Amino acid sequence: MTHKDSLSARLPTPWGDFMIHALEADDGKEHVALTFGDWNSKQPVLARIHSECLTGDALFSLRCDCGFQLKAAMQKIAEEGAGVLLYLRQEGRGIGLTNKIRAYSLQDQGMDTVQANEHLGFGADERDFKVASDALDQLGIQKIRLMTNNPRKVSSMIDAGIDVVERVSLKYGHNPHNEVYLSTKQSKLGHLF
């Protein structure tokens, strides 16, 4: 993964000024890192690894908790005074936008998230978090306090040599439209709420 220094800029947000950095990974996708404040490389950095969710992040869908988690993570980083949010281009748990919409259609017919992905010939979660560990390494971050409900992210970071000193829960966005989705994340994917 390469950090495109010439593609860094100030990103004003409702929570303060972040810096946005374009990252180009071996997977051919353009990912971004949002950094806030300064950190000591020897201290754990508050971090969020967020996979792209067009419907939740940009279109305000209530089918998931993604947009709520994104906003909460940015707010927590700003309140802390320093941290990083990695925004990874892994739409629909890595199956892409078109297949995600196909999965939504299957969910409308009664399948849960995992069943829909598997019906389409995918695994329950196709994301690869190596790109995240590469980005953290590139930013000089070896110790993190990871904002996630997903134990797989924690394991992936540890396996990649990132020291996860704490898992910080992100329980936001529960509503009647995503009850089955969240229940499936907990019962079939092991998410911790």
Whether 108 is a known active-site residue: answer no
92 is in an annotated binding site: yes
153 marked as part of a ligand binding site: yes
Q: Residues of the chain with pLDDT > 90: what percent?
A: 53
Can you tell me the mean pLDDT for 103-123? 93
Question: Which helix (H) or strand (E) segment is 66 a member of?
Answer: helix 66-80
Report the pLDDT value the prediction gives residue 89, as an integer from 0 to 100.
93
pLDDT digits (tens, 9 = 90+) for 9-57: 999 999 999 999 998 777 788 899 999 999 877 789 999 999 999 999 9
- Bigger pLDDT: 166 or 173? 166
**One of 127, 128, 152, 167 is an active-site residue; which one?**
127
Residue 10 known to be catalytic: no
Cα separation, 188 vs 154, in Å, equals 17
pLDDT over threshold 70, residue 88: yes
Residue from 112, 125, 134, 145 carrying the catalytic annotation: 125
Domain locations along the chain: 21-90+127-189, 95-126
Phi/psi class of residue 72: alpha, beta or left (left: φ > 0; alpha: ψ in -120 to 50)?
alpha
**Domain 21-90+127-189, CATH number (from 3.40.50.10990, 1.10.1380.10, 3.30.420.40, 3.40.190.10):** 3.40.50.10990
Q: What is the DSSP letter of 64?
A: S
Cα torsion at 59, 30, 139, 153 (round to 10°)?
Answer: 60
The pairing of strands 16-24 and 83-88 is unpaired
Residue 93 annotated as binding?
yes
